[in-house]
């Protein structure tokens, strides 16, 4: 399929041939007929991408600060990789479209193939021939719906949510500052609801269009005596509410809103404007209410609502983002609002770059710019070939999942000049990601079909770097296909999945199974282990984990397993490696917190050879402190490992000290060792018994926290 993409580094915009999206549970596969370009949001994104690196940095100072933080903690190599991954990626554009359903997820009952739908969401309703959208970001349309108008779906819902925040009544009046698409749609819906619409903009074309189609009063902002005109038109009262739909760095919209609003009036911010208003005289003396409008409405940015499809009960949350979209589409279909005039330009998908050139340069007046798709063209479901076919090597590699970690820590360490190692295929949820990864790291093809990888005889090694909840299924399928498997931690999320993996693994003993426990491969860790004798050791592993918001996927037990299963497995594995024995008993206790996240926890472990260890995993510390600190004690020896950058070993003689220039957490050594194992044969890098025991110990931590008891493994 074809999709419009842009590189943030150069601003280069191209129509890419990409694999079809993956249709997972709760998703709807849609063939776009039309998609709408949001001139404000997308125009700003495109304009920023076309600036120099210095210009980009000025536009995004917070991201520059993040880069400097990474540089300080992880060194220049990892920082460079992270930055280049962002700059070189194919970024999708678009977030509002309409088309026809061509496939649904296994659990979807609300939609069926052939339904006409309108879609929303950045990263979902892209400018692409085929999009895959969660059910709560998709609404069904009547069979005779005008799909061009329906493609205004997202902006219509955003405008409607702004009106709801203004809380207006029949017969009241409202000023709309900014008469682009959002402003025009807002005015149309205000009039349809019996509210008098006052429109203000700096652009003459926008004002004249609004006068003709959607306002009772429209003026250019620079008009003399504008405040007095509005006061006169409202019988000296001022407007009941002001909705700001403009996008600007100027404080004028927020301050002018205060000037024209009546006493006790409301100001609603929908557009991207600064809110550092002047307190006096208007906001203070009038006791104005300033409100923000969050995109399409309740449910926006809620993982449970948008990705999992869990709806809010209408009795308690009457207007969600999906119900706002449905209401907007009903206004269109019944003719209560007429938006035909808004579409000033229509381009075929192939000419999309020309549309953005016009928007950025403002070479001619415009409002709505839509992209039209060739729906008569036959769709291709085959893998997309990126590089010429190479000879088959001893190691034929495929990646399932290739996000930030894979691109920063795994893929750069795959040998590029070894004729025995061939990168064959890559599959991700995003076609833009899989295509760019294939190009950047030399894979032959990218795909959205697992079978293209599992049934390929030239692929014998599969790296799995997807979200945690899919690890177990991909591991089982790859092992059943007799592939060697490297899976990024965790191996799986529960005991049932682990039992199934163990069973499949032992049925296919010729396949190697490796989990990405990279810390045991660091040079300093290896040196520390060599310094130890055969007697039991006592160990402390302190992790300054840092706080992560409760509403992110990392904290979601069903997606990531939570931070214990998702990350603490690393530290249990490291202690297992150091002491050379399997964990046998676990006791854990957590600091109480209102969200019940259990991410500030102390874990005590006992090992088969008598060793003991403590993992102190704390999310309530200072960010300025290094993340990881390890102490090892054994028969008069003490080893201290600081953030995998500095090692001190104390004995009766003079202390040994080793310090690296940059932090090294062992990813490069781990990947090389795994590929060498597949290429040359040999014993597993980590004994499967250790992998399974560490995974069981992680589950035991969760059980101990739940039961407040010691758990035997």
Say yes or no: 355 and 471 in one domain: no
Taking residues 672-696, what's their average pLDDT? 96
What is the number of domains present in the chain?
Answer: 4
Residue 555 sits in a domain whose CATH number is 3.30.360.10
Q: What's residue 62's pLDDT? A: 65
Average pLDDT over residues 307-332: 97
pTM assigned to the model: 0.89
User: Residue 510: pLDDT band by 50, 70, 90 thresholds?
Assistant: confident
pLDDT score at 154? 97
Range of the domain at 89: 2-152+339-372
349-402 confidence digits (pLDDT tens): 999 999 999 999 999 999 999 999 999 999 888 899 998 766 677 999 999 999
- 663 touches 579 (CB < 8 A): no
* DSSP string across 223-252: -TTHHHHHHHHTTTS-EEEEEE----S-SH
Residue 313 lies in a domain: no
Domain-located, residue 311 = no
Q: Domain check: are 115 and 159 in the same one? A: no
Verify that 132 and 253 share a domain, yes or no.
no
The domain boundary, picked from 277, 292, 307, lies at: 292
Report strand pairing: 90-92 vs 2-7.
antiparallel
Output the domain CATH number for residue 245: 3.40.50.720
Same domain as 136, residue 38:
yes
**Quick one: which of 375, 374, 371, 372 has its CA closest to 358?**
371
CA angle 524, 528, 532 (to 5 degrees): 170
Q: What is the mean pLDDT of the chain?
A: 93
DSSP-assigned letters across all residues of 541-604 = EEEE-----TTSGGG-TTTT-HHIIIIIHHHHHHHHHHHTS-EEEEEEEE---TT----SEEEE
**Among 491, 515, 539, residue at a domain's last position:** 515
The torsion of the CA quartet 107, 109, 115, 117, rounded to 10 degrees, works out to -80
Cα three-residue angle 427-432-435, rounded to 5 degrees:
55
pLDDT, one tens digit per residue, over 51-100 is 666 665 555 666 656 656 655 666 666 665 566 556 677 889 999 999 99
121: tokens are 């969401």
Angle (CA) 424 429 433, round 5°: 65
Query: Does a structural domain hold residue 308?
Result: no
What tokens appear for 682 in the block?
A: 């040999």
Q: What is the enclosing helix (H) or strand (E) of 210?
A: helix 204-213
Q: What is the DSSP string of 605-627?
A: EEETTS-EEEEEEESSS-TTS-S
CA distances from 667 to 68, 176, 216, 545, 610 (A): 22, 54, 64, 19, 30
Asked if the structure places residue 21 within a domain, the reply is: yes
Digit-coded pLDDT (tens) for 451-471: 999 999 999 999 999 999 999
Residue of higher predicted confidence among 578 and 623? 578
- Asked if 591 and 607 sit in the same domain, the reply is yes
For residues 494-513, give the mean pLDDT: 94
Residue 403's pLDDT is what?
92
pLDDT in tens, 173-187: 999 999 999 999 999
- Residue 564, classified by CB atoms within 10 Å of its CB into exposed (0-12), middle (13-18) or buried (19+), is buried
Whether 28 and 111 map to the same domain: the answer is: yes
Among candidates 267, 317, 234, which has minimal Cα distance to 162?
Answer: 267
Both 130 and 235 in one domain: the answer is no
Same domain, 162 and 221: yes
Please give the biggest Cα pair distance in the chain. 92
Residue 201 structure tokens: 């903009």
Whether 309 is covered by a domain: the verdict is no
Number of neighbouring beta carbons within 10 Å of residue 239: 28
Beta strands in 123-260 (DSSP E): 130-134, 138-141, 173-177, 196-201, 217-220, 239-244
Q: Please state whether 162 falls in left (phi above 0), alpha (psi between -120 and 50) or beta.
A: alpha
283 and 348: one domain? no
Query: DSSP readout, 3-34?
Result: EEEEETTT--EEEEE-PPPP--TTEEEEEEEE
pLDDT tens track for 617-649: 999 999 999 999 999 999 999 999 999 999 999
Yes or no: say if 703 and 531 are a contact pair by the CB < 8 Å rule. Answer: no
What are the C-alpha distances in Å from 201 to residues 162, 222, 292, 341, 422?
18, 9, 20, 18, 58
At residue 85, the pLDDT reads: 56
| Residues 6 or more apart in contact with residue 378 via CB below 8 angstroms | none
The C-alpha atoms of residue 348 and residue 355 are separated, in whole angstroms, by 10
Indicate whether 7 pLDDT > 90: no
Q: Please tell me whether residues 576 and 667 are part of one structural domain.
A: yes
């Amino acid at each position: 399929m074809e999709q419009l993409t842009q590189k943030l580094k150069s601003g280069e915009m191209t129509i890419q041939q990409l694999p079809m999206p993956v249709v997972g549970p709760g998703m709807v596969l849609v063939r776009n007929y039309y998609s709408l370009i949001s001139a404000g949001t997308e125009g700003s994104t495109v304009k920023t991408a076309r600036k120099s690196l210095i210009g980009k940095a000025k536009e995004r100072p917070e991201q520059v600060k993040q880069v400097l933080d990474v540089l300080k903690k992880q060194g220049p190599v990892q920082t460079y990789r992270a930055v280049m991954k962002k700059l070189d990626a194919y970024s999708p554009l678009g977030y509002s479209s309409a088309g026809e359903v061509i496939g649904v997820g296994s659990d979807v009952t609300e939609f069926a193939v052939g339904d006409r739908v309108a879609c929303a969401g950045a990263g979902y309703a892209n400018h692409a021939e085929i999009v895959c959208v969660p059910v709560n970001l998709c609404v069904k349309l009547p069979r005779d719906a005008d799909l061009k108008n329906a493609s205004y779906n997202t902006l219509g819902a955003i405008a409607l949510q702004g009106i709801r925040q203004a809380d207006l009544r029949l017969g009241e009046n409202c000023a709309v500052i900014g008469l682009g698409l959002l402003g025009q749609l807002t005015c149309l819906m205000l009039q349809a609801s019996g509210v008098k619409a006052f429109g203000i903009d700096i652009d003459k074309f926008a004002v004249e269009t609004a006068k003709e189609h959607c306002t009772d009063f429209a003026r250019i902002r620079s008009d003399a005596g504008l405040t007095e005109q509005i006061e006169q038109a409202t019988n000296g009262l001022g407007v009941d509410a002001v909705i700001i739909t403009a996008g600007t760095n100027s404080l004028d919209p927020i301050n002018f809103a205060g000037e024209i609003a009546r006493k006790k009036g409301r100001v609603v911010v929908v557009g991207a404007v600064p809110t550092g208003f002047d307190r006096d005289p208007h906001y203070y003396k009038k006791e104005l209410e300033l409100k923000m409008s969050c995109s399409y409405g309740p449910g926006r940015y809620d993982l449970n609502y948008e990705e999992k499809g869990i709806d809010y009960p209408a009795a308690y949350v009457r207007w969600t983002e999906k119900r706002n979209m449905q209401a907007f589409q009903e206004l269109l279909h019944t003719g209560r609002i007429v938006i035909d005039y808004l579409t000033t330009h229509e381009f075929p998908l192939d000419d999309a770059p020309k549309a953005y050139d016009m928007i950025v340069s403002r070479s001619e007046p415009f409002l709505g710019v839509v992209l039209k798709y060739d729906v008569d063209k036959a769709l291709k479901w085959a893998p997309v070939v990126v590089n010429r076919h190479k000879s088959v090597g001893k190691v034929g590699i495929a990646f399932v999942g290739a996000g930030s970690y894979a691109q920063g820590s795994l893929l750069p360490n795959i040998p590029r000049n070894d004729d025995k190692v061939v990168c064959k295929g890559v599959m991700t949820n995003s076609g833009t990601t899989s295509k760019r990864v294939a190009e950047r790291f030399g894979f032959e093809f990218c795909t959205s079909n697992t079978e293209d990888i599992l049934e390929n005889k030239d692929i014998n090694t599969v790296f799995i770097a997807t979200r945690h909840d899919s690890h177990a299924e991909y591991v089982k399928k790859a092992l059943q296909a007799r592939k060697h498997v490297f899976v990024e931690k965790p191996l799986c999320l529960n005991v049932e999945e682990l039992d199934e993996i163990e069973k499949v693994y032992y049925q296919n003993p010729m396949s190697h199974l490796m989990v990405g426990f990279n810390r045991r491969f660091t040079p300093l860790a290896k040196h520390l282990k060599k310094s130890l004798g055969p007697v039991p050791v006592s160990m402390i592993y302190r992790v300054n984990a840092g706080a992560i918001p409760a509403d992110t996927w990392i904290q979601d037990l069903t997606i990531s397993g939570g931070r214990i299963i998702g990350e603490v497995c690393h530290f249990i594995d490291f202690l297992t490696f150091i002491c050379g024995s399997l964990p046998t008993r676990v006791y854990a206790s957590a600091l109480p917190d209102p969200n019940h996240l259990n991410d500030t926890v102390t874990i005590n472990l006992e090992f088969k050879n008598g060793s003991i260890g403590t993992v102190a995993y704390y999310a309530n510390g200072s960010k300025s402190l290094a993340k990881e600190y390890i102490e090892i004690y054994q028969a008069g020896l003490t080893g201290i490992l600081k953030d995998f950058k500095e090692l001190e070993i104390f004995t009766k003689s003079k202390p040994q000290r080793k310090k690296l220039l940059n932090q090294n957490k062992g990813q490069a050594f781990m990947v090389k060792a795994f590929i060498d194992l597949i290429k040359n044969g040999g014993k597993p890098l980590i004994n499967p018994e250790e992998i399974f025991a560490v995974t069981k110990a992680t589950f035991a931590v969760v059980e101990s926290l739940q039961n407040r008891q010691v758990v035997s493994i």
